[in-house]
Structure 1
């Protein structure tokens, strides 16, 4: 179940209440008239079956309410109620299969913001990935994959393309276009410092071993990227976030980005090109798989005809 909280102008309260009462997937309806101070209005709350969330938001006019009120949708947590069970049974479909498009757009929009925290995590991840390759340490590379925040903008890019949210596409593209060069620049400075202090030189570069997958590109690179991107988008759209960890440690975006700079500065052109190609293949594969998953789940029709969220500010 999801919990819906609406701050509604008094003049629209009865319309919203009637819409909620008419939805079989909504229950536990409560109201506090005059309960909202900023913005002023009535406070309406209800629990909603996940599979009915899009219908409910569309029925109450969530986008219009967001202009002079507010609509908040969160996880209801553990719910012990026969009414809730009946609401879930009445709503069409299965809750675990349902996609709440408004929530997906909002969540991916938040995850693709370019800020200091995003740049810091991406830079640290690239440094960890580069160290992992140079020291032939798969464990360190896995750590870099988990730390890297790049899946957020990649998922946002796929969602924005399918749902035609061009502001979301632009925001995700900027995060990637700025984030990776900054992180790779930080890695370049660290590499130059390592050369100057004698901690690293051309002899430090691996010639094979357990980490060669970072700079060796093949069909398996694209296949893994596609599978990881599909799993990641399924996780986001079905609220099974635990699967995202598996996505993070399946793709080689961050290690490839970090190591391409190291190999370039130490003049191993083959490994530098291989790592850069690996990076591009993984980025493209993840976005492509995300788009395909959303298309299969019916996103174009939902995005155009039913999702009425405001443009991201």
Structure 2
């Protein structure tokens, strides 16, 4: 698996950046287009490199402060025919699917962690679906609510924030969850409150919901499922396996539990509301903790640049400017 990096650098940094890219292990191709960048002015370097070596190269470019004076863009070509690329992949340590590109993980989770109208709308819709599934005793509606719920994005962002100490990302994710869930639950409660006098469901609806009892009966498996889902979700983000995330969404009981709390409170079933609230808490904590454990494991086994390499790059940059 190879990726392509497009690097824009000013002319005074071009030579050392080019040498860094060319000397990077598992590099298949390096292309220099002098003067191609107009705003800001500079050169463009394109690198075809094995995914396993991208993080190491990005660390070197970070030392050179490339992102401060230029830019780095990464794309994944769908189809590459190149013996050089094949050799680069064979020379790369490990496997591309296991490689962690930390900036990429941060970007993916950061995009899904903001409190936006889109996020709020999906969370409200998912909670409404959960409420309907609860009062109608419909597992299908519950599964639909799980699939629609967007809550894994902020939960993953919280884990990334704790692993990388990017507190701004964590605060943003916490705001999305802290505002999104109360608003969605309040609207679900309002819908339930209006539905009872309209005769859409009876007041004893929760006494007949045998198919959704698991929502307000948390147990050891509630936490185990949340932990497994958090691990699977973070692995899918690291490996960019978006299809696996669907299974993660369907396996956790966050949105159904939030919907059950809202409906149970309206119907005066406070014990069931407390049980579903505990279910919600177990899911949230289990997902974040397990996702954080995955990230810490990868950070532990990821090779960092030796101090000598870092010092050499800084010296090259300062010497090039001098």
Does the pair score TM above 0.5? yes
Where structure 1 has 5 or more consecutive residues not aligned to the other structure, the ranges are 309-313
**Alpha-carbon separation, structure 1, partners of 2:289 and 2:211:** 28
Give the Cα separation in 1 of the matches to 2:12 and 2:300.
33
Is 1:57 matched up with 2:58?
yes
**Quick one: structure 1 residues 56 and 125, their matched pair in 2 at CA, closer, same or farther if it must change by over 3 Å?**
same
| Cα deviation code 1:47-102 (max 9, x no counterpart) | 12111011111122378222221111122222111111111112211111111111
Q: Which residue of 2 aligns with 1:110?
A: 111
Q: CA deviation at 1:169?
A: 1.2
Q: Quick check: 1:214–1:256 contact (8 Å CA) kept in 2?
A: yes
Are 1:120 and 2:121 an aligned pair? Answer: yes
Residue 253 of structure 2 corresponds to 252
Moved more, 150-159 or 288-297: 288-297
SS at match of 2:204: helix
Query: 1:1-313 residue pairs with structure 2 within 5 A?
Result: 1-61=2-62, 64-298=65-299
Distance 2:83 2:108 in 1: 30
In structure 2, C-alpha distance between the alignment counterparts of 1:207 and 1:271, rounded to whole Å? 13
TM-score of the two chains, using structure 1 as the length reference: 0.92
Q: Which runs of 5+ in 2 are unaligned?
A: 311-322
Q: Distance in 1 between matches of 2:302 and 2:95?
A: 19
Whether the 8 Å contact between 2:134 and 2:209 is mirrored in structure 1 is no
Contact 1:3/1:47 (CA < 8 Å) preserved in 2? yes
Quote the offset at 1:208 in angstroms: 4.2
Aligned to 2:317: none
**Which has the larger Rg?**
2
Counterpart contact for 2:7–2:46, Cα < 8 Å? yes
| Closer/same/farther in 2, CA of residues 153 and 300 from structure 1, 3 Å limit | farther
CA distance in 1, matches of 2:163, 2:127: 29
Partner SS, residue 65 of structure 2 = helix
Distance 2:108 2:23 in 1: 28
User: Aligned pair in 2 of structure 1 residues 235, 281: CA closer, same or farther (>3 Å)?
Assistant: same
CA deviation map 1:142-184 (0-9, x unaligned): 1111111100010110111011111111111111111111111
Q: TM-score, normalised by structure 2?
A: 0.90
**SS of alignment partner, residue 236 of structure 2:** helix
Q: Is the 8 A contact 2:6 2:73 kept in 1?
A: yes
Q: 1:79 to 1:68 in 2, by over 3 A?
A: same
Q: How far off its partner does 1:305 sit?
A: 9.0
Contact persistence 1:51–1:95 (CA under 8 A): yes
**Count of residue pairs the alignment pairs up:** 307
> Taking structure 1 as reference, are residues 297 and 61 closer, same or farther at Cα in structure 2, changes over 3 Å only?
closer
- 1:62–1:71 CA contact under 8 A, matched in 2: no
CA 1:86 to 1:177, structure 2 compared with 1: closer, same or farther past 3 Å? same
For residues 57 and 237 of structure 1, the distance between their equivalents in structure 2, rounded to whole angstroms, comes to: 16
